[in-house]
Structure 1
């Protein structure tokens, strides 16, 4: 059952929301627009506010469902593993030849189920950084780095703490191109087309 749950979570995470919305509603491949990333920020940049929010919500829901599935079948340890599987699916989608997004929204959805108060504070930090810097990537990297310590601070189970450390490391790793652009001063700011 655990293996089946992990496969289902990966396939769920693999559903490329931004690609589907771009291709079947707007008629273009989001991988060829903006940053080329298959995620909510690029959807916002290339399709507008409403499509961007839809992509954000669905990608977060993938993480939430993955955790609920894991909790139902195997408790916190499996929930942590199914959450990682969903993020892996989002980042390396089987439907897009193992291309994908950064995993931020899917991870946030998972943490919303595991540790909602910790997520609240991480999102608050994200909002403050994005408002003052206008760099979504900087907000995402900072919130991801902070999340494991918040989950630990709020005394969540160890599998959830370990998940947020692993998830944060993966999110930061996936932001390598953004980090290079931030350091070079070429990263797109919120509201800029690109």
Structure 2
């Protein structure tokens, strides 16, 4: 069967996997955790997004770490469950759904996070080896430049090639799309990197 015929045969299952991933990915853990523990509405501070970086701006390092972990795991869980039940095509659909759910959660007017944590979580669902390489790239770039955003962008851009090298061509295609979306969501950071005004790791002043 061709890829197109497989898609036609599986589209109801793929749609279900996508919706499952989207619902899981759209859970705004940063917002939920800060509300539970008496923090401010993170949408009213910093960049206004719901990710771990913005939670960190509340001064609650523990909540930021928990948000990072949960935003990762929702991508991992979506991929693993879909793969276990329906195979790789469904895992691809669920991974895409989880990522888009984090970026554009329906419950919050489609205004979510920037996607790096969920990107890593989805990647973990496909290959832990790729996550280790991703982490190595991130650490190397961060050590050289002291820019967290630049480190994440370069590591995300390298991910499709990493997966292709690991002989995972279908996930590599998915992560090409996800990497493009990460760059779109970080366009403000990219503008600040170009202008030299982006915050470096360890700086106390944080720009939105």
| Range class of TM-score, shorter chain | over 0.9
Q: Distance in 2 between matches of 1:38 and 1:136?
A: 17
CA contact (8 A) 1:2 1:73 kept: no
> When the two structures are superposed, what TM-score results if normalisation uses the length of structure 1?
0.93
| Shift in Å, 1:35 | 2.2
| Shift in Å, 1:49 | 2.4
| Shift in Å, 1:45 | 3.1
Q: Is the aligned partner of 1:43 residue 2:55? A: yes
Q: Distance in 1 between matches of 2:58 and 2:70?
A: 17
| Shift in Å, 1:159 | 2.0
How many residues end up aligned between the 2 structures? Answer: 193
Q: Is the aligned partner of 1:90 residue 2:136? A: no
Q: Distance in 1 between matches of 2:72 and 2:157?
A: 18
Q: Is the aligned partner of 1:167 residue 2:167? A: no
| Shift in Å, 1:22 | 2.1
Q: Is the aligned partner of 1:71 residue 2:93? A: no
User: CA, structure 1 residues 32+188, in 2 after alignment: closer, same or farther (shift >3 Å)?
Assistant: farther
Q: Distance in 1 between matches of 2:112 and 2:83?
A: 26
- Equivalent in 31, 43, 67 of residue 31 of structure 1: 43
Q: Distance in 2 between matches of 1:116 and 1:147?
A: 12
Q: Is the aligned partner of 1:20 residue 2:32? A: yes
Per-residue CA distance 1:40-75 (angstroms, 9 max, x = gap)? 122223333221111110001011011012202321
CA contact (8 A) 2:40 2:58 kept: no
- Equivalent in 107, 119, 136 of residue 107 of structure 1: 119
Question: Please, what is the CA RMSD of the aligned residues?
Answer: 1.5
| Shift in Å, 1:114 | 0.6
CA contact (8 A) 1:70 1:82 kept: yes
CA contact (8 A) 2:75 2:122 kept: yes
CA contact (8 A) 1:122 1:144 kept: yes
| Shift in Å, 1:7 | 1.1
Stretches of structure 2 that go unaligned for 5 or more consecutive residues are 1-12
CA contact (8 A) 2:15 2:93 kept: no
User: CA, structure 1 residues 17+62, in 2 after alignment: closer, same or farther (shift >3 Å)?
Assistant: same
| Shift in Å, 1:94 | 1.1
